[in-house]
Amino acid sequence: MVTTTTPLETPLEAELLALAGSVPDPELPVLTLAELGVVRAVHMSGADSAEVELTPTYTGCPAVEAMSLDIERVLREHGLREVTVRTVLTPAWSTDDITDEGRRKLREFGIAPPRVRSGSEPVPLALGPTRTDTDTDTDTLDPVHCPHCGSADTELLSRFSSTACKALRRCLACREPFDHFKEL
């Protein structure tokens, strides 16, 4: 039997991972790439050369190129001569990868964070009523709360908003519209 082990992260790789993770997300600049959970690892491939593993929020995410360029710029400013950003699709990114700090920042920015799922079950998909209290997924997920007033009495206006990752909702209590970062 052949077993392989992943080499342990060096202090320099940990420092570079923190730098790469500090880059703001181009579509949601209130979040860093670390808070979004898309920067997976940094591996040194020489004294002044590194490879960064980046997992997009979905295959075909238009922000991957901007993220990659920003990561390359930050790491080059830190003294690396060569930086390669490699897109890694496995394991797939999930909204579970967003940190607690990232969820807090989304809420403060006026975007309802994705609901927390229990376990690793797939996100249920059902077409039907748009009211939170009649959504078919309320058995496994909490209702979407308004980031402005906290009410759970919200409705879906559009399954897509300013980005494919968000839906447009409205609070029926305070009547304010808001984005909801969809669960993936």
Q: Where are the domains of the chain?
A: 11-87, 100-116+129-181
Q: Look at residues 98, 99, 180, 108 and name the one whose alpha carbon lies nearest to residue 144.
A: 180
Per the prediction, the chain carries an average pLDDT of 87
What is the pLDDT averaged over residues 107-126? 77
Using alpha carbons only, give the angle 85, 31, 49 rounded to the nearest 5 degrees. 20
- Whether the bond into 56 is cis, omega within 30 of 0: no
Query: In sequence order, what are the residues at sequence separation of 6 or more whose Cβ sits closer than 8 angstroms to the Cβ of residue 26?
Result: 63, 66, 67, 70
Using alpha carbons only, give the angle 85, 90, 92 rounded to the nearest 5 degrees. 100
Answer whether 181's CB lies under 8 Å from 93's CB: no
> To which CATH superfamily is domain 11-87 assigned?
Fe-S cluster assembly (FSCA) (3.30.300.130)
Residue with tokens 């808001």: 178
What is the pLDDT averaged over residues 89-105? 95
Strands (E), the chain: 39-46, 49-54, 82-87, 111-112, 154-158, 166-171, 177-181
Q: What is the pTM of this model?
A: 0.81
What is the pLDDT averaged over residues 150-172? 92
Both structure tokens of 170:
């409205």
pLDDT band at 124 (very low <50, low <70, confident <90, very high): low
Query: In sequence order, what are the residues at sequence separation of 6 or more whose Cβ sits closer than 8 angstroms to the Cβ of residue 150?
Result: none
Lowest mean pLDDT among 5-9, 63-67, 133-137, 177-181: 133-137
Percent of the chain at pLDDT exceeding 90: 71
What is the pLDDT averaged over residues 11-22? 96
> Phi-psi bin for 119: left (phi > 0), alpha (psi -120 to 50), beta?
left
- The whole-number pLDDT of residue 137 equals 44
Answer whether 13's CB lies under 8 Å from 44's CB: yes
The H helix count followed by the E strand count for the chain is 4, 7
